[in-house]
Amino acid sequence: MKKAQFHLALPCEDIQDTIDFYTYKLGARLGRNTDTWADIDLYGNQITFTKAGDFNFDFKNYRLGEQILPSFHFGVIIDVEVWGKLYSRLFSMDLEVTTETTFFENKVGEHLSFFVKDPNGYMVEFKSFKNPNEIFTV
């Protein structure tokens, strides 16, 4: 299957806080934007944030093995070198970053993962697979 970029549109509370988080802290590139919406280039994928005010989701977490994970999250799969540098940089900042975790250890789909909370309360996951060929392996 040909690789494709994703587009995701999400509500946000403050456009400038969101732009600052994604560009200055995560190192993403700002795309087209106005005072009510912004396109963010996150590793070649487009996230459009639109100012929408307060929002709420009822089921905030789920269990995967021994881990409690945020139900509503999105993320990017990156190579282990980029993953390590980003984790170290973000962990040293005053951000809500989860401790790195290995999921499916010694099984198909083994990957490192961490989450960071953006200014809207979204959890952004960064994954690095031990074997990138297993990303979609059942």
Average pLDDT over residues 65-84: 84
Kindly list the structural domains of the chain, giving each domain's residue range(s) and its CATH number in brackets, ordered by start.
7-52 (3.10.180.10), 61-138 (3.10.180.10)
Residue 40 near residue 28 (C-beta atoms within 8 A): yes
pLDDT above 70 for 2: no
Is it the case that residue 89 has pLDDT exceeding 70? yes
Residue 135 to residue 8: CA distance in whole angstroms? 20
pLDDT reported for residue 131: 92
pTM of the predicted protein model? 0.77
pLDDT at 30: 95
- pLDDT of residue 34 exceeding 60, the answer is yes
| 67 Cα distance to chain centroid | 17
